[in-house]
Amino acid sequence: MRSLLFLSMFFICELAHSKDKDVIRVYTYSSFASEWGPGPILKREFEANCNCEIKLITVADGNALLARIKLESSAPKADLVVGIEDALIASAMKTNQFLDPQISMKRLEQPKSINKTGPFIPYNFGYYAFMFDTKAKDPSGSPFPQPASMNELLNSPKFVKSIIVQDPRTSAPGLALLLWIKALYKDKAPEKYKLLQKQILTATRGWSESYKLFTKGEAPLVFSYTTSEAYHREEEKTDRYKALIFTEGHYISVEYAAILKTSKKENLAKRFIEYLLSPSAQSIIAHKNWMYPTQTALTLPKSYDQILQPAQTLQIKSDEILINRENWIREWQKETQTK
């Protein structure tokens, strides 16, 4: 009897305790929150040090995150957003839905091009690249050739229908490929999109879909990040997939976190962002999100040492992207014949 009474009291106390917990709702992209991504570990570690619960609410990528914020402008269903890319920062700023948490940036380890931008806090970065399947064969059965430059990839008939990319209208990496070509070729970019169209096998709505097709052997090349190579080396113990480093330079990707003005858990949301910048969280991000940490000097996985670094970094300012994005996407649609 006493044991039953004790158990009943225990469960009542536990239920009351769980109801007292603050809940933070975080919008993020699907791979971040996946079972193999950093989200579950970050959630578990942060929850262990606060009387709170983190709920990860996912969409495809940073582009979809911003679209959802705009759609819910009158009543956002999240407290903070993790995963807005630098190309979308000016567009996100224009929504006027984010508050500045006044978080200090130590700048211990990050490229000079990465800075806190108003309410947006950078927590990781990487370099876009084409991943190459070293076991791919050409129609004759010979090893598939590796392009050494963007110019070779766009112009050589050897690469016709050999690339999987993402749609810039629905995908942040897809937009980044458009911006990479725009950064390289300026006003001549439209004619380069036309060349690219010949080389594309398919364009997916998001990165996860395209990368699955690539690893299934559907094409020898996919648009991704240099750190995808580190993932395969570290987690799968294979050097089959290689990040190609082009002579012209590579477009950089920076991801930011930000708190929504409508959040009723502002202090706790700020604590979560500060946690994202801590050595523990930055190490988890490097090992599970497969991006470089922005804030803390860390010992990275050994596989990072095996990735070649771009000799030059390319980037278009977010303000310029905001002004020109729609026109640039229309150019891309016209020249790649995308409906």
The enclosing domain of 207 has a CATH number of: 3.40.190.10
Average pLDDT over residues 254-260: 96
Beta bridge partners of 203: 165
In whole angstroms, what is the distance from residue 153 CA to residue 150 CA? Answer: 5
Looking at the fold, whether 202 and 315 belong to one and the same domain comes out as: yes
Residue 315: predicted pLDDT: 95
Whole-prediction pTM: 0.89
What are the tens digits of pLDDT across the range 28-78?
A: 999 999 999 999 999 999 999 999 999 999 988 888 899 999 999 878 899
Same domain, 98 and 224: no
| Cα torsion 222, 231, 137, 127: sign | positive
Q: Choose among 173, 169, 98: nearest CA to 329.
A: 169
- Does residue 210 fall inside a structural domain? yes
Q: Residues 23, 155: one domain?
A: no
Beta pairing, strands 22-29 & 80-85 = parallel
- Are 88 and 23 in a shared domain? yes
Task: Look at residue 207 in the predicted model and tell me its pLDDT.
Answer: 92
Axis crossing angle, helix 39-47 with helix 266-276, rounded to the nearest 10: 120
8 domain-assigned:
no
Indicate whether 242 belongs to any domain.
yes
**Residue 43 placed within a domain:** yes
Quick one: 167 and 240 in the same domain?
Answer: yes
* Pairing label, strands 221-225, 121-133: antiparallel
Asked if the structure places residue 11 within a domain, the reply is no
227 shares its domain with 166:
yes
Q: What is the pLDDT of residue 115?
A: 77
Give CA separation, 231 vs 56, 92, 302, in Å.
23, 30, 11
For residue 276, which of 288, 265, 285, 268 has the smallest C-alpha distance? Answer: 285
Tell me, yes or no, whether 4 lies in a domain.
Answer: no
Say how many CA atoms lie within 13 Å of 312 toward its Cβ: 10
- 229 and 315 both lie in a single domain: yes
Q: Are residues 320 and 214 in the same domain?
A: yes
Query: pLDDT tens across 145-185, in order?
Result: 999 999 999 999 999 999 999 999 989 999 999 999 999 99
Same domain, 226 and 285: no
d(CA 235, CA 318): 34
Per-residue pLDDT, 112:
67
Residues 299, 196 share a domain: no
3-state secondary structure the chain: CHHHHHHHHHHHHHHHHHHHCEEEEEEEEHHHHCCCCCHHHHHHHHHCCCCEEEEEEEECCHHHHHHHHHHCCCCCCCCEEEEEEHHHHHHHHHCCCEECCCCCCCCCCCCCCCCCECCEEEEEEEEEEEEEECCCECCCCCECCCCCCHHHHHHCHHHCCCEEEECCCCCHHHHHHHHHHHHHHHHHHHHHHHHHHHHEEEEECCHHHHHHHHHCCCCCEEEEECHHHHHHHHHCCCCCEEEECCCCCEEEEEEEEEEECCCCCHHHHHHHHHHHCCHHHHHHHHHHHCCEECCCCCCCCHHHHCCCCCCCEECCCHHHHHHHHHHHHHHHHHHHCCC
State whether 297 and 199 are in the same domain: no
Q: How far apart are CA 86 and CA 183, in angstroms?
A: 15
pLDDT of residue 107: 59
User: Tell me, what's the pLDDT at 14?
Assistant: 42
3 is a domain residue: no
**For residue 10, is it within any domain?**
no
Number of domains in the chain: 2
Q: Please compute the mean of the pLDDT values over residues 265-286 and round it to a whole number.
A: 95
Domain co-membership, 214 together with 325: yes
Q: Is the pLDDT of residue 16 over 80?
A: no
Give the Cα separation of 56 and 207 in Å (integer): 19
Domain that holds residue 83: 19-125+253-305
The CA dihedral of 283, 288, 290, 296, to the nearest 10 degrees, is: -10
Model confidence at 1, in pLDDT bands (50, 70, 90)? very low
